[in-house]
Structure 1
Amino acid sequence: MATNTDTDKLDTERIKEWRSIVTLIVFVLTNINVLFPWHIPIPVPRPLHNGLHHGLSAIRVIHPKKKSLHGADKAVVWFRFPMNFVTAPLIADLFLLIIQAIGREEVRGGTLGTDHISPLDIMLFFITLAYIAISIDASGLIRWLAYKVLLWGGESGHKLFFYLYTFFAILGSFIGNDPIILSGTPFLAYMTRVSSNIEYPRAWIFTQFAVANIVSAILVSSNPTNLVLAGAFQVRFIDYTVNMIVPVVITVIVLFPVLLYVIFRKENLIPKKITLHELPEEIRATIPKNPCIPYARGAAEEEESLHVDDEKGKIIELAEIMHPYLDKKSAIFGSVVIATTLIVVLVINAVKPTGGELPVFYITLPAAAVMLGWDVSCGWLRRDGTREIARSGRRELEAAREARAAASSSPSEGVLADSRPSSGDNQNEKQVAGVNEKYHDVASESFPSSRSTTDITVEASEATSTRHVGPVSKYSSKVSEGGNKRKKEREVDAEKRSEPAPKDKATLVSMIAYAWAWLRETFPTATAVLALLPLALVPFAFTMFVLVQALVTKGWVPVFAYGWDHWVNLTGTVGAIGGMGFVSVILCNFAGTNIGTTILICRVLQAWVLIHEQPGVAPISNRTFWATIYSMALGVNYGAFSTAFSASLAGLLWRDILGSKHIHIRARDFARFNVPIIAVSMIVGCAVLIGEVYLMRDTLPYKST
Structure 2
Amino acid sequence: MITGSSIGTLVVFIISIVFVIYPVSIPIRLPYLGRKRLPINLTTAPILAIAILWAAQCLGPSVVDQRRHSSSSSSDQRRIQVSPPFCDSQYAERPANATSSSGTDGVKPYNILILFFSLAYMAITLDITGVLQAAAFWVSNKGGSHGYRLFFYFYVMLTALSVFLGNDPVILSGTAFLVYYTRVTELNHMSWLMSEFAAANTASMVLFVGNPTNVVICEGFSVNNAAFTAYTILPFLGCSVTCLIALGFQFRKPKYIPRRLTVTEELDVWSVLLDPTGAWVGSVLLGTCLIVIIIVSFFHVDVWKISLPFAVAKFTYDIVWDHYRWTKSIPMLGQRPKRKWSDDLPSPTKDVPLEIVGGRGSSEKPSPDGDDVRDLTPLPPTASVTFEEASFPATTANTRVNTRNNTRDTTLTSRTLVNEPSERTTAKPLLARLRSRYLTTYAKFALHFPTFFTALPRLPFALVPFAFSQFMLIEALTHQGWIEIFATWLVRASDKQMYPVIWLVGVLGVILCNISGTNIGATILLTKVIRAADLSPQTNRAAAISLAVASNIGAVSFTYSASLAGLLWRQILQQKGIFITQKTFAYWNTLPLLVMTVVGLAIVSAEMAVLY
TM range, normalised to the smaller chain? 0.7 to 0.9
**Which of 417, 432, 456 in structure 2 is aligned with 1:530?**
456
Q: 1:656 Cα deviation (Å)? A: 1.1
Distance 1:233 1:129 in 2: 22
Secondary structure of the residue that 1:267 maps to in structure 2? coil
Residue in structure 1 matched with residue 130 of structure 2 by the alignment = 140
1:154 aligns with 2:141: no
Query: Which position in structure 2 is the counterpart of 1:226?
Result: 214
| Structure 1 residue identity aligned to 2:552 | N
| Aligned positions of 1:375-394 closer than 5 A | 375-383=318-326, 384-385=329-330, 389=336
- Deviations along 1:623-643, one digit per CA (max 9) or x if unpaired, are 433222111111111000110
- Inter-CA distance 563–155: structure 2 relative to 1 (3 Å threshold): same
Q: Name the counterpart of 2:520.
A: 595
User: 1:542-691 counterparts in 2 under 5 A?
Assistant: 542-569=468-495, 572-609=497-534, 620-691=535-606
Q: Once the 2 structures are TM-superposed, how far is the Cα of residue 183 of structure 1 from its aligned partner?
A: 1.1
Aligned residue type for 1:208: E
Specify the SS of the correspondent of 2:38: strand
Residue 269 (1) aligns with residue 194 (2):
no
The TM-score, its normalising length taken from structure 1, stands at: 0.67
Q: CA deviation at 1:158?
A: 0.9
Q: Please list the CA deviations of residues 520-549 of structure 1 after superposition, one character each: whole Å capped at 9, or x if unmatched.
A: 100001111112111110110000100000
> Which of 274, 277, 282 is matched with 1:329 structurally?
277
Taking the aligned partners of 1:442 and 1:183, their CA distance within structure 2 comes to 21
Matched-pair contact (CA < 8 Å) for 2:141–2:266: no
Aligned pairs for 1:494-533 (under 5 A) are: 507-533=433-459
Secondary structure at the aligned position of 2:298 is classed as: helix
Residue type of the alignment partner of 2:276: K
Q: Judging changes above 3 Å, is the alpha-carbon distance between structure 1 residues 145 and 444 closer, same or farther for their aligned structure 2 residues?
A: closer
The AA in structure 2 aligned to 1:363 is I
1:85/1:277 CA distance change after superposition, 3 Å? farther
Q: CA deviation at 1:519?
A: 1.0
Change (3 A) 1:444 1:547: closer
Mark the CA change 1:243 to 1:123 in structure 2 (over 3 Å): closer, same or farther.
same
2:242/2:592 contact within 8 Å kept = no
In structure 1, stretches of 5+ residues that fail to align are 1-12, 54-76, 285-320, 353-357, 395-437, 446-450, 462-502, 610-619, 698-705
Q: Which residue identity is paired with 2:8?
A: V
CA displacement, residues 486-542 of structure 1 (integer Å, 9 cap, x when unaligned): xxxxxxxxxxxxxxxxx9998332222122101110000111111211111011000
Q: How many residues align?
A: 505
The whole-number CA distance in structure 1 between the counterparts of 2:380 and 2:215 is: 43
Question: Which residue in the other structure is 2:155 paired with?
Answer: 165
CA positional deviation for 1:279: 8.7
In the TM superposition, what is the alpha-carbon distance from 1:672 to its structure 2 partner?
0.6
Partner secondary structure for residue 261 of structure 2: coil
In 2, Cα distance between equivalents of 1:136 and 1:158: 29
Amino acid at match of 1:554: Q
Q: Report which of the two structures shows the higher radius of gyration computed on alpha carbons.
A: 1
Q: Secondary structure at the residue paired with 1:271?
A: coil
Partner of 1:361: 304
* Deviations 1:271-309 (CA, angstroms, capped at 9, x unpaired): 1112257699xxx7xxxxxxxxxxxxxxxxxxxxxxxxx
Aligned AA (1:368): A
Is the contact between residue 220 and residue 241 of structure 1 (CA under 8 Å) also seen in structure 2?
A: yes
Cα distance in 2 for partners of 1:621, 1:114 equals 20
Percent identity over paired residues: 36
For residues 142 and 120 of structure 2, what CA distance do their matches in structure 1 show?
29
Query: Is 1:42 the equivalent of 2:28?
Result: yes
Alignment map for 1:146-545 (pairs within 5 Å): 146-196=136-186, 198=187, 200-260=188-248, 262-275=249-262, 323-352=271-300, 358-383=301-326, 384-385=329-330, 389=336, 507-545=433-471
Give 3-state SS (helix, strand or coil) of 1:183's partner.
helix
Alignment of 1:89 onto 2:46:
yes
Describe the shift of the 1:695–1:522 C-alpha distance in structure 2 as closer, same or farther (beyond 3 A): same
Deviation at 1:621, TM superposition (A): 4.1
Shift of 1:567: 1.1
1:37-84 CA-to-partner distances (Å, cap 9, x unmatched) read 00112245xxxx3xx35xxxxxxxxxxxxxxxxxxxxxxx53210000
- Partners of 2:536 and 2:479 in 1: how far apart? 27
Q: 1:569 to 1:147 in 2, by over 3 A?
A: same
Contact 1:90 1:543 in 2 (8 A): yes
The aligned counterpart of 2:426 is: none
In structure 1, distance between residues paired with 2:114 and 2:471: 15
User: Is the contact made by 1:594 and 1:647 (CA closer than 8 Å) also made in structure 2?
Assistant: yes
Which residue number corresponds to residue 121 of structure 2? Answer: 131
Counterparts in 2 of 1:573 and 1:546: CA distance versus 1, 3 Å: same
Structure 2: gaps of 5 or more residues: 68-99, 342-374, 382-413, 421-428
Out of 117, 121, 130, the position equivalent to 2:107 is 117
Runs of 4+ in 1 over 6 A off after TM superposition: 277-280, 441-445, 503-506
Per-residue CA distance 1:548-594 (angstroms, 9 max, x = gap): 00000110000000000111118x43322222111101100110100
Q: Which has the higher helix share?
A: 1
Give how far 1:695 is off.
0.7
Task: Provide TM-score, normalisation by structure 2.
Answer: 0.77
